[in-house]
């Protein structure tokens, strides 16, 4: 009955989530105004198709717990209308359910309809059939395109209205977006760009949603559309009208991963600095892109070469768990900013210089006063005087003073704990089935694969041959990967990369006198999703295709020969991904290192409730399905460059996607998320299509575990921001506090791996004692923490004694939970 009760409660919440009174949403030069009151808003992006409906409630709740007021999402046209006038709003595409769940949690929604979304999504979110409409030109003043764009936008708006999901109807949607980052590339479209943007704005407003519309990165967005900023930093952004608020629709919390690239990482201190700087300099709305990145299931990733993981180094990781310390530190930043809300919405900031690269912003009206003190120098700490008091400002940091006197938070000083994740592996049953794959016998509408085939007669005395059989096959392709077969055998392959998608190969081959066959398998790894005229980028073999002599310079051009074309693979046609086809062959010994081969095996779900990943070590490139659902493309054979990663990431100074890389010299992606909701306790089916050749006996499942939990707090840290409401005379004068809590309520702290009070060195997982260390630290921490779900310890000499007088000290702790 308990399970049934929970389901009934959820259904009731969904049914009643939008029965609130209608709200009036407007804006002025300072902020979004809801029911006549300006609001300071913190938002985060969660893309509903990149997670599962079973994950949505927890993701939304973690967002709320992290201090968000709003969830922002794109609307993915290609997922909702894969074929013209055939719609899909089920499962991961159930937009209405997602919006209602956000409402049930008490959060607002920003619906970014686009319908161009970029988002590292295949073809920028446009359905492929759109390309074939006669006379169409994307994203310009073109009647066929505008007609389709308006039809889909109106459909989404009508759906939301029918469910009463706009704030004007009592729903959660308080903002909508039309178009997306068009200003970055509109110059390429000439005069037609301006008329197109005006049309898009007028069309959106005419849909009468009752809430404001925005255009991001569009400096000429016509009234009443709000133009907004996207980027790593937007504190210097100014809207195009004094009547519009300063809004940041994409604060990039990290960066996307590409196959062949290292793993991007944006430090929590830098992200917090960017957020605080934005509110310091007059902003009142910012959104994290992404707050939860998720997974590019199936063939949804774009790029090309965007990886299946869309983790984005976001505050909530790909598996739905809080990434610490980023999630916790940003939660504290949000709390500190909300302590300033009364002042922020009342007036504009007064900004003054405190010295070179030092700045104060004061919001003061009557007796209400809040201040932000910033040190934007990327190297040097500073001590500043403000309102008669001294404040230490680390380099590249902002201190937030909700009362213009006491520091609630400094962005460079993290009070939140750090969590080191680990994965526990379970071997996979290797009694698998296999079957070969070849060219499709049917014409598929959508596939990553296209065959080019040529049959030709070759004489032994051809001038481009050496010894009657040796020559070099030269092929050029627009991308993204290519496999060449001569007389049915793989002769060679080539691949592009995220910087240059084109493929050019010269493959030494051997032919036979008489009839020979040449087959190319051209492979896409996500279609282009960004840039002017991105829809015309194309892919596949365009030529020239030649047979070149080894030494004498002679050649024959095969480009104009009568090639045949077939879309897709035989296995795709015959339903192999479902695992139910009759074409599988059971073998005790699995074929290894064979290209174009399918594998199938049965497995039991890993025990417990921890998130699950498939470790595809040993495999080359392909796609994987679990119980008929595609977990995405895999490519562990594509190794990131050896250079460019560092053990220590300096958060100071402007961030860029090339800074703070991880995982150099290793597969760009080795682990592939398998949602728990896709698994049964037993009898699950795993199907792989292996393109290059690999060893399936190395495949394993892994469950996401918590390895170590750490915290490192100095005597100069502010009190936890949660204690701001404590007594002003005693609470704020207290010492800093180190807190650690197990991630699950049914866990307790079981082991103290490290504890040092004094001058500890290193970071979580590699702490060491410095020259000064209290002998009592480990026993004090053990007594306070072991056996408890959480513990808090004062960082002071009163707790640990003074192991080194006159030296600033800190407490570093590493524990594990069980």
Instruction: Provide the pLDDT for residue 8.
Output: 31
Beta carbons of 696 and 430 less than 8 angstroms apart: yes
Do the Cβ atoms of 41 and 30 come closer than 8 Å? no
Contact criterion met (CB below 8 Å) for 396 and 270? yes
- Just list the catalytic residues: 181, 250
- Of the chain, the end-to-end C-alpha distance in Å amounts to 30
pTM comes to 0.95
Q: Are 333 and 409 in contact (CB under 8 A)?
A: yes
Q: Record the tokens describing residue 324, joined without a space.
A: 């610490």
- Residue 310 contacts residue 294 (beta carbons within 8 Å): yes
Residue 208 has pLDDT above 60, yes or no: yes
Task: Kindly report the average pLDDT of the chain as a whole number.
Answer: 93
d(C-alpha 52, C-alpha 74), whole Å = 16
The rounded distance, in Å, linking the Cα atoms of 765 and 710 is 8
662: β partners: 263
Confidence of residue 439 (pLDDT cuts 50, 70, 90): low
The model's pLDDT over 133-153, given as tens digits with 9 standing for 90+, comes to 999 999 999 999 999 999 999
Residue 468 scores a pLDDT above 80: no
pLDDT at 699: 96
Determine the Cα–Cα distance for residues 330 and 321; give it in Å rounded to an integer. 15
C-alpha span between 573 and 594 (Å, rounded): 21
> Is residue 590 very low, low, confident or very high in pLDDT (cuts 50, 70, 90)?
confident
Looking up tokens 């301006």 gives 194
Enclosing H/E stretch for 422: strand 418-427
Task: Count CB atoms within 10 A of the CB of residue 717.
Answer: 21
pLDDT digit string, tens, across residues 234-275: 999 999 999 999 999 999 999 999 999 999 999 999 999 999
Exposure on the CB side of residue 198, measured as CA atoms within 13 A: 5
* DSSP reduced 3-state for 444: coil
Which residues have CB under 8 Å from 755's CB, separation 6+? 777, 778, 780, 781, 782, 811, 812, 813, 814
Q: What does the pLDDT read at residue 440?
A: 47
Range with lowest mean pLDDT among 193-197, 274-278, 423-427, 484-488 = 423-427
| Helix, strand or coil, per DSSP, at residue 592 | coil
Report d(CA 546, CA 544) in Å as an integer. Answer: 6
569 DSSP 8-state letter: B
Residue 551 has pLDDT above 80, yes or no: no
Q: Which residues pair with 326 in a beta bridge?
A: none
Q: How distant, in Å, are the alpha carbons of 117, 253, 254, 335, 644 from that of 267?
A: 26, 9, 8, 19, 16
């Amino acid at each position: 009955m308990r399970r049934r009760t929970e389901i009934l409660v959820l259904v009731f919440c969904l049914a009643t989530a939008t029965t609130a009174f209608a709200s009036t949403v407007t804006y002025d030069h300072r902020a979004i105004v809801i029911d006549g009151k300006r609001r300071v808003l913190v938002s985060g992006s969660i893309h509903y198709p990149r997670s599962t409906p079973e994950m949505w409630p927890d993701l939304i709740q973690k967002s709320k717990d992290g201090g968000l007021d709003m969830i922002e999402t794109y609307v993915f046209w290609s997922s909702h209308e894969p074929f013209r006038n055939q719609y899909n709003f089920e499962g991961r595409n159930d937009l209405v359910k997602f919006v209602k769940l956000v409402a049930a949690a008490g959060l607002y929604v920003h619906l970014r309809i686009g319908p161009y979304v970029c988002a590292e999504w295949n073809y920028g979110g446009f359905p492929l059939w759109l390309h074939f409409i006669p006379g169409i030109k994307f994203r310009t003043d073109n009647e066929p395109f505008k007609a389709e764009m308006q039809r889909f936008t109106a459909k989404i708006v009508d759906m939301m209205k029918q469910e009463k999901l706009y704030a004007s109807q009592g729903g959660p949607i308080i903002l909508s977006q039309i178009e997306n980052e068009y200003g970055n590339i509109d110059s390429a479209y000439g005069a037609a760009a301006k008329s197109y943007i005006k049309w898009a704005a007028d069309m959106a407003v005419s849909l009468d949603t009752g809430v404001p519309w925005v255009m991001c990165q569009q400096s000429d967005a016509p009234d009443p559309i709000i133009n907004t900023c996207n980027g790593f930093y937007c504190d210097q952004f100014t809207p195009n009208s004094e009547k519009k608020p300063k809004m940041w629709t994409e604060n990039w919390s990290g960066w996307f991963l590409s196959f062949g690239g290292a793993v991007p990482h944006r430090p929590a201190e830098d992200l917090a600095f960017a957020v605080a700087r934005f509110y310091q300099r007059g902003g009142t709305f910012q959104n994290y892109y992404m707050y939860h990145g998720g997974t590019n299931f199936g063939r949804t990733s774009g790029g090309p070469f965007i990886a299946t993981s869309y983790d984005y180094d976001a505050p909530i990781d790909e598996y739905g768990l809080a990434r610490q310390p980023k999630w916790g530190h940003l939660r504290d930043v949000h709390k500190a900013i909300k302590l300033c809300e009364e002042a922020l919405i009342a007036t504009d900031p007064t900004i003054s210089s405190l010295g070179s690269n030092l700045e104060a912003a004061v919001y003061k009206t009557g007796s209400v006063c809040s201040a932000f003190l910033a040190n934007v120098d990327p190297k040097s700490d500073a001590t500043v005087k403000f309102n008669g008091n001294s404040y230490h400002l680390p380099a590249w940091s902002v201190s937030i003073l909700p009362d213009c006197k006491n520091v609630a938070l400094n962005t460079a000083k993290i009070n939140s704990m750090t969590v080191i994740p680990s994965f526990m592996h379970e071997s996979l049953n290797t009694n698998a089935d296999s079957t070969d794959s070849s060219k499709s016998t049917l014409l598929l509408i959508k596939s990553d694969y296209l065959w080019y085939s040529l049959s030709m007669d070759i004489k032994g005395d051809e001038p481009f041959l050496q010894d009657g059989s040796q020559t070099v096959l030269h092929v050029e392709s627009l991308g993204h990967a290519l496999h060449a077969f001569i007389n049915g055998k793989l002769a060679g392959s080539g691949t592009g990369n995220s910087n240059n998608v084109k493929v050019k190969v010269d493959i030494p081959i051997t032919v036979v006198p008489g009839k020979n066959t040449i087959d190319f398998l051209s492979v896409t790894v996500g279609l282009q999703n960004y840039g002017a005229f991105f829809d015309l980028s194309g892919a596949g073999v365009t030529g020239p295709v030649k047979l070149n002599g080894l030494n004498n310079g002679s050649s024959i051009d095969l480009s104009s020969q009568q090639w045949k074309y077939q879309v897709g693979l035989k296995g795709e046609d015959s339903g192999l991904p479902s695992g139910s086809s009759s074409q599988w062959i059971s073998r005790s010994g699995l074929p290894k290192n064979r290209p174009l081969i399918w594998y199938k095996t049965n497995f039991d779900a890993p025990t417990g409730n921890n998130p699950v990943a498939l470790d595809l070590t040993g495999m080359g490139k392909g796609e994987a399905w679990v119980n008929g659902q595609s977990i995405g493309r895999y490519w562990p054979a594509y190794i990131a460059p050896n250079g460019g990663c560092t053990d220590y990431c300096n958060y100071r100074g402007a961030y860029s996607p090339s800074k703070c890389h991880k995982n150099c010299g290793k597969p760009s992606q080795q682990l592939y998320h398998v949602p728990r909701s896709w698994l049964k306790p037993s009898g699950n089916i795993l199907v792989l299509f292996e393109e290059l050749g690999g060893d399936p006996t190395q495949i394993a499942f892994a469950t996401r575990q918590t390895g170590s939990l750490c915290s490192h707090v100095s005597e100069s840290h502010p009190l936890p921001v949660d204690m701001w409401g404590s007594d002003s005379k005693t609470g704020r004068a207290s010492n800093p506090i180190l807190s650690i809590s197990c991630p699950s309520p049914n866990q307790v702290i079981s082991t103290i791996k490290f504890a040092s009070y004094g001058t500890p060195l290193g970071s979580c997982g590699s702490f060491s004692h410095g020259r000064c260390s209290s002998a009592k630290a480990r026993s004090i921490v053990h007594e306070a923490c072991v056996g408890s779900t959480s513990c808090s310890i004062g960082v002071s000499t009163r707790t640990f004694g003074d192991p080194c007088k006159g030296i600033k000290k800190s407490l570093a702790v590493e524990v594990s939970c069980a």
